[in-house]
Structure 1
Amino acid sequence: MTNPFIRNHPYLVELQNHVQQLLDELAEDDIGAGFQAAAYWHGELVLNAFSGSADSAGRRPVDSDTLFVAQSCSKGIVSTAIHILVQQGKLDYDERISHYWPEFGANGKDKITLRQVLTHTAGVPVMPAYSDMRLIADWRAMVGEMEKLEPIWEPGSKSGYHGLTFGWILGETASRADGRTFAQIVHDEIGKPLGIEKDLILGASSEAECRIAEISGEAVPIASMPDDMLFKRVLPPALVPVANPEWNSPWFHAAAVPAVNVIATAKAVACMYASLIGHGVDGGRRLLEPACVAEATSPHFEGIDEVALAPIKLGLGYSLSQEGDPMGGSPMAFGYAGLGGMIGYADPSNSLAVAVLCNRMKVGRGERSPDRLVSDLIREKLSAAES
């Protein structure tokens, strides 16, 4: 039921107007950049703003139906699908991956558990040196590549960003346990129950293609890193957006590369997170029971990431908020950020779910990062509305 207090509150009208102005300013400063921002508060949509261009030439305006390649925000969606299967009894966090997928156990991986993959502690973050965009778009080929991997540290002993391998390992494990393709699981267990199946997609159809925003911007400076740097082996230059026009190809959008190429609107991502914290949207059911959310979002690793060489705090497949991040350091907030200043997250302590998506990849935005700016405005206006 719509809450008239929320719908008509002047501070929430201000929120929509101020975020819209912010996105307009960001778009004016960077021709070809497009943005969407959405937020649910107590299950009500209190923000749905968009601005800029869905193509690099600035000719196709972004609207509320524009789809964005979610980059690593995809990992939060992948993790949600895994938690749903755990809740259904099809997966177990402490079961070995090789129990569901025997071939994965080769080369010292037989004891790696689902929990270790979700916490990036499995020790298998490195991509094959010969990886290219066509290879990663081939699900069966990448399943074979995951089977060949060898741990580069003792599984469970440390955490390091499994930037791409995360998606295929979890996706194929889910498929083996469930019988459906992972793309179908995302559709059936997340998209359809929430009524967002056309707005949150793994493996985009030809009908969706015309809605997808083109990626453009600055090349991520991975190519200049030393060849022996672990980050470069985890995210090889041949696979990074902007330098690779294949990211804008229909065949890549149609592929399932779960860790990075969920196609979505900001409203759909925020809707998914709202459903995880007991604020199902428009009568939609809650995707996860409170006990499952509590397990998935409790701290499972806190320390230095071996790949990114930065402090991290992780739940099961979700990043947990730390002071100074776009989630505002809220003690219960969880989600996942993506390249370019994107994020999707839930903040249960404030009954809030937020998503910010964009198509312009820029390095070093810092305080001008869209996810940070939008989140700061949301917190300011909601604090005022509650006072």
Structure 2
Amino acid sequence: MRLGALIAIAAVTMAGMTSSVVAAEGEAVTGRFDRPQQGFAPPGTTLRPATPEEAGLDPAPLLAAEQKIDAWTRPDSTGHPLFAGAVGMQVHDGMVVNTHTAGSALRYADGAGTELPPDQQVPMRMDTIFDLASISKLFTSLAVMQVVETGQVDIDEKVATYLPEFGVNGKECITVRQLLTHTSGLEPFLPLWRDWPDKAARIKAVMDVKPVYEPGSTYKYSDLNLITLGVLVERITGQPLDVRVREGITEPLGMVDTGYNPPAEKLDRIAATEFMTVPDRGMIRGQVHDENAWSLGGVAGHAGVFSTAADLSVLGQAVLNGGAYGGKRILRQDTVRQMLTDYNQDFPGNAHGLGFELDQLWYMGGLTSPGTAGHTGFTGTSLVIDPASRSIAILLTNRVHPTRTWGSINAAREAWATGLSRALAVPPKHGPDAWFSEIGNLSTATLTTKPLTVGDRPLRVTFDTFVDTESTDQLVLESSTDGTTWQPVSLRAAGPGAPGGEVSALSGTGHRSWWSVSAMVPPSENVALRWRYTTDKQYTARGVLLDGVQAVVSGNAVLDLEREPEAVTPQGWQLRSR
């Protein structure tokens, strides 16, 4: 299967389309959000620094995302910041277009949030090393797929074939694929560190556990899936997991700051995590934060990897390149395609490849599409890899420093990825500019005409729109005969990803195409039109564009916004040239 098919746009044709065409495999389309790429980047693509302008990007959205990250590292109404510090990196088409640091890698002395003296605090740097938490699951998954490539493991084979001790208590038929896609039915975690005395007993507890759901019947994210896969890799290769990951992934890719149990000489570059009292570990810095991984010696399939933004960007580019980077191949292209295929279509909202999460707006933001891959980590980390735009967004924070109770950082994750998406251009479909709205949560933007003289003839309205929104953030067209009471107008849209038949609203992410829309408004002496875009309380994607707006009565245009943009009153909309 081609990667273009995985991102659900391979069927887009060139006929009748202008800017919303699919880029052919290998074609360079720098800086465009509306030209989804097919296939992988050339395997020789390596990262290099570039300005946003050199990459064809608008620097303003990148700066706006930076400002949000900065604000979240300062105390708010709660008396503390959302997170102590962050390192961010944004990559497009092999170019590192933005790097950013904010706040502190070490800031607090205890779990109550007592700040260290300024001379004892450690600022974030671009080479700060972070505990990746569950992003570690990607390294385990890559290691699994490497042994799949050797023929030693079949992902559709029963796990018990390779780990006989796993095949008990209802787990006899669980497959390797089900572990990778979190459809095994295993519960999310067990308190291994607390309830079992040593590593051997803790691993045995995972092997002995009974599923809480019928395997294959539901999606349930579980650390136990990846702990099991880590054991499987060790059993098949005869190597400890950390050695296997180093020899098979990080060393070939040149990821010099990535691995388990970082050495003491790197401690001054490691971001602190939580001040932990249960278990009594004090301020954690340089040891894995996850209690179960810690109790397993710092090396486990679900957590334990430390890394930097620079190293993660190499991993992300290797995925975009189809499994190779810097002349070293860690996976075949067909294997990477498998890893980016959604196997959880029976569980809407939980799209998942082999190890990679897919299509998750809550942290992928405006880069979301059916083929966008990534993962997050409990310590405050996120990695987003978007094959459709060949972009990578990395945000690493120490949000559990000094405590895990200060709140979710999903808004920051989403903002960082969305900033990159909005920096990519969507040129107008007609003329020099188009109306654009990028309002935030719980907001409404309107574009309203004056009353149009229609009489006893129906009004035909046509426009083009580029919609990249959460399904509950909708664009509607409304009409009014009195300027006060507004009625929805039924719409028909055409284009890749457009809804079929008549609809009352337009929304959706990932198609990255202009839609041609038409509507008929019943006869009325005078009628005003209003385009209304409304968002709910959380998650916004790239936003909405309108262009080529016309209203015609019996062949005569009574509204043409290409000629008269002043014929509408915008609230929350602005004219943009890209």
Do both proteins adopt the same fold according to a TM-score greater than 0.5, normalized to the shorter chain?
yes
Secondary structure at the counterpart of residue 132 of structure 1: helix
SS at match of 1:76: helix
Alignment of 1:163-182 (within 5 A): 164-182=223-241
Paired with 1:366 and 1:214, the residues of 2 have a C-alpha distance of: 18
Alignment map for 1:131-210 (pairs within 5 Å): 131-132=192-193, 139-162=199-222, 164-196=223-255, 198-210=256-268
* Separation of aligned partners in 2, 1:9 and 1:299: 30
Amino acid at match of 1:144: K
Q: Which residue type is aligned with residue 379 of structure 1?
A: S
AA partner of residue 99 (structure 1): T
2:334 to 291, 299, 302: 291
Q: Which has the higher strand share?
A: 2
- How do 1:1-387 and structure 2 match up within 5 A? 2=48, 8-9=54-55, 11=57, 17-29=63-75, 30=80, 33-57=84-108, 59-125=121-187, 127-128=189-190, 131-132=192-193, 139-162=199-222, 164-196=223-255, 198-216=256-274, 245=282, 247-248=284-285, 250=287, 252=294, 255-278=298-321, 283-302=326-345, 311-323=349-361, 325-328=363-366, 329-339=368-378, 341-361=380-400, 369-383=411-425
Q: Is the 8 A contact 1:165 1:259 kept in 2?
A: yes
Contact residue 181 and residue 353 of structure 2 kept, 8 A? yes
Aligned residue number for residue 498 of structure 2: none
CA distance 1:139–1:205, change in 2 (3 Å): farther
Q: Distance in 2 between matches of 1:101 and 1:370?
A: 40
- 1:3: how far off? 8.5
TM-score by length of 1: 0.79
Deviation at 1:153, TM superposition (A): 2.3
**Contact 2:84–2:103 (CA<8 Å) still a contact in 1?**
yes
State the 1:188 CA deviation. Answer: 1.4
User: How many positions carry a matched residue from both structures?
Assistant: 357
Q: What is the CA–CA distance in structure 1 between the aligned matches of 2:260 and 2:353, rounded to whole Å?
A: 23
Q: 3-state DSSP class of the match of 1:154? A: coil
In structure 2, list runs of 5 or more residues that go unmatched. Answer: 1-45, 109-115, 289-293, 428-576
Aligned CA-pair RMSD: 3.5
Read off the aligned partner of 1:380 and give its amino acid letter: R
- Report which of the two structures shows the higher radius of gyration computed on alpha carbons: 2
Give 2:326's aligned amino acid. Answer: G
The residue type paired with residue 331 of structure 1 is: P
Q: 1:105 Cα deviation (Å)?
A: 1.8
**For 1:75 and 1:211, how far apart are their aligned partners in 2?**
23
Q: 2:196 and 2:286 mapped to 1: Cα distance?
A: 14
TM superposition shift of 1:380: 1.0
Secondary structure of the 1:256 match is: coil
Unaligned runs of 5+ in 1: 220-236, 306-310
Q: Distance in 2 between matches of 1:172 and 1:180?
A: 10
**Partner Cα distance (1:367, 1:106) in 2:** 39
Does the 8 Å contact 2:322/2:332 carry over to 1? no
Mapped partners of 2:406, 2:155: distance in 1: 36
CA contact (8 A) 2:55 2:97 kept: no
The CA deviation at 1:281 is 8.6
> 1:285 Cα deviation (Å)?
3.2
Q: Cα distance, 1:272 vs. partner?
A: 0.8
For 1:280 and 1:15, the matched residues in 2 are separated by 30
How far apart are 1:333 and its partner, in Å?
A: 0.3
Residue 302 of structure 2 aligns to a residue whose secondary structure is coil
1:17 to 1:6, Cα distance in 2 relative to 1, 3 A: closer
Q: Which has the higher contact order (CA 8 A, sep 6+)?
A: 1
Q: TM-score, normalised by structure 2?
A: 0.55
Identity between Structure 1 and Structure 2 (%): 25
Instruction: State the Cα distance separating 1:325 from its structure 2 match.
Output: 4.4
Partner of 2:301, secondary structure, is: coil
Deviation at 1:193, TM superposition (A): 1.4
